Amino acid sequence: MKRQAETINRIINSLTSDEDRRQDLWVFYLENNTPYAFDEFLKRIRLGEKRYARDKKIAQDIFASSPKFDNFLTNFTELEKEIMFLMALETSTLDIARYKGISEERILQAIDVIKSKPAWEEIRKEIHGS
């Protein structure tokens, strides 16, 4: 079992250096998917990222950002920012998972990470006044 985990870890590390993608691949594998499907899974993720880049460019053209908000965003990974934006639009975690091509469990894990960051608590207090 340990040897198998080491092999899977080597495969995942050879496919991507992005920590979020590595976690996505581990969750994908632990959901009883075969490592042979990793490549197709990464292609789906990359397609979602291309769509996100397009959508992000459109949003930047529409909304003028503030330095304070930009600074706030530097505390989060691209995946975390995308989840926050989609949640602000009242997108369900299941729909976000489908859009991103990753499991809902991975989305929920990222939300827990977002909520654990000090920057999140600071902005929450500023918005809600408590």
Per DSSP, 123 falls in state: H
Q: What per-residue confidence (pLDDT) applies to 128? A: 77
Per DSSP, 102 falls in state: S
Tens digit of each residue's pLDDT (9 = 90 or more) over 31-58: 888 888 888 888 887 777 777 777 777 7
Q: What per-residue confidence (pLDDT) applies to 106? A: 93
Q: What per-residue confidence (pLDDT) applies to 58? A: 73
Could you report the average pLDDT of every consecutive run of 10 residues in the chain (130 residues)? Answer: 84 84 86 84 78 75 68 87 88 90 92 93 78
Q: What per-residue confidence (pLDDT) applies to 64? A: 58
The Cα–Cα gap between 124 and 130 comes to 8
Q: What per-residue confidence (pLDDT) applies to 80? A: 92
Q: Is the dihedral of CA 54, 100, 121, 19 positive or negative?
A: negative
Q: What per-residue confidence (pLDDT) applies to 107? A: 95
